[in-house]
Structure 1
């Protein structure tokens, strides 16, 4: 669906930005990524949430991307799922409370249960549904939106969205694109991915954790196909190298202005939600806010 009003502005990166500030953020493929900051640097997490609000974000996302049982088990922390989910959610709530702006919404993250981009590790529908139900129930009391993000396959997204919808919260679904922009990373076309959600009350669909050129190619078709708002939050790079992964995608990161100019082109195409993914910062969001407000 083409949106003609001003777009909703999401926030930017958490893990890569914390790392840039000197916070210890371990490898996402073998450890628990930004979840460690919930234990070692919660004040930094809350501060970054607040900076995104100050920069102009209408929606901030809870730092629970890597708080899944499979990922926590890497550090023998599986039993801390409930504790760390609640910690992450409360940091976002506290940031909103302390911010000068009002009307900011909070999204809880339902992200891949295992390593990002690995469709071969997604598992069965039943396994995903059970895990996402547990996570959604933990997040629901604290959030306004449940964001099923960086979804690699149509089945994974369906399981996450179904679990999220059972809470009664607003549900958004965001897929990550193959570098060719013709399919999501699991191999399904955007049309197939969207069709898998047909019987679930999803309020918006997006693309994220992808390069700008892939989003530019895929977004018009999704806007034409969907009867709900469509959006994107990308990595700040035009092209993704073959075999690109989240931590190496931004080989030549776009500046805040360059990224904002790119994202505003999506708005011109009809996108109703925009923000930033890996390697974006409050500066990127602030520049987007200034362009949206012009």
Structure 2
């Protein structure tokens, strides 16, 4: 089938599913170090990244997002590999472009928060802008279909990223998403619906929220964003059981001990497949057109999103089917009943 362009799909009212969360998933698999979270795996084991791209497309992603998150000058300085920055970016983009071409999907370049930007320090504006310019120019060279700017907690830094895409992106569309922490406002004190509306008015093709909050605590804010913004909005929560008391996965605590779970023990509060599907269904109902999952995502959870949006990705072949299970088929009898009772038995 001919591939439909990014803007054309949006204009046709089609949903776009985008897999994010590469950083956390590669760390979970043992190929990336928690802490710096830098993507040197691109240089050391590029096939691992390629495989994950293929896996996410298999699960329903319409987008192959180049793994250049934190692949910028400021971050790579922290591990002493700044001199390999261009090679890292162009390699990541080529891997993503190749997979997108082979799977007839879209390929996105990627910008992230710089960790150097300070809205109260004008000298950091130029530093952040230069970081964005480099990566945007590499994304154009690498053949991106559009560019994602994500996980900005300040409106002003997000706006700088958008400006860089518009100035150096050779006309490529921009998806800009802000990260919602505990308050319903950016760290430079703009309510999210207002900040995202301003980014939309400034020319972003899609605006929305990613990371920070899980499904339960992102959804109420998304409803307010939908009221404020006129065009396509994005939602890419972390698949963790955040609550009104602990709104972000950074604030989650162990229900037994009260100890903080972030950043190494969040798996104990991972959402179920049913919870992810419920979120995706509700997001679809309120008009979220660009949907996915962020840190903590996995292929089986992404499949729930795809199915909730009416998709039938290749991995549908492996959708659970309990009719053939020895204990859940409804035809359990004989010794199997006894075994099943032992499985469910609460030992006093």
Shift of 1:207: 0.3
Q: Which residue of 2 aligns with 1:127?
A: 127
Deviates more, 1:236-245 or 1:157-166: 236-245
1:27 and 2:34 matched: yes
2-structure distance, mates of 1:120, 1:78 = 26
Deviates more, 1:78-87 or 1:252-261: 252-261
Structure 1 counterpart of 2:208, from 206, 209, 212 = 206
- Closer, same or farther in 2 for the Cα pair 1:231/1:250, shift >3 Å? farther
TM-score with structure 2 setting the length: 0.74
1-structure distance, mates of 2:238, 2:95 = 24
| Contact 1:47–1:95, Cα closer than 8 Å, also in 2 | no
1:215 and 2:218 matched: yes
| Contact 2:153–2:186, Cα closer than 8 Å, also in 1 | yes
Aligned pairs for 1:1-294 (under 5 A) are: 5-23=13-31, 25-28=32-35, 31=36, 33-99=37-103, 102=104, 104-114=105-115, 124-141=124-141, 142-166=143-167, 167=169, 168-180=171-183, 182-197=184-199, 200-211=202-213, 212-239=215-242, 240=248, 243=251, 251-293=268-310
Q: For structure 1, list consecutive stretches of 5 or more residues without a partner in the other structure.
A: none
- Closer, same or farther in 2 for the Cα pair 1:213/1:22, shift >3 Å? same
User: Deviation per CA, 1:66-115, whole angstroms, max 9, x where unpaired?
Assistant: 1111110011111222111001111111222333xx2x111111101128
Q: For structure 2, list consecutive stretches of 5 or more residues without a partner in the other structure.
A: 1-10, 243-247, 253-261, 312-348
Shift of 1:243: 4.1
Q: Any idea what SS the aligned residue of 1:293 has? A: coil
Q: Any idea what SS the aligned residue of 1:93 has? A: helix
- Closer, same or farther in 2 for the Cα pair 1:291/1:198, shift >3 Å? closer
Q: Which residue of 1 aligns with 2:341?
A: none
- Closer, same or farther in 2 for the Cα pair 1:119/1:229, shift >3 Å? same
TM-score with structure 1 setting the length: 0.87
Q: Give me the CA root mean square deviation.
A: 2.7
Deviates more, 1:268-277 or 1:252-261: 252-261
- Closer, same or farther in 2 for the Cα pair 1:145/1:13, shift >3 Å? same
Structure with bigger RCO (C-alpha 8 Å, 6+ apart)? 1
Query: How many residues align structurally?
Result: 284
| Contact 1:207–1:234, Cα closer than 8 Å, also in 2 | yes
Q: Any idea what SS the aligned residue of 1:60 has? A: strand
2-structure distance, mates of 1:74, 1:279 = 24
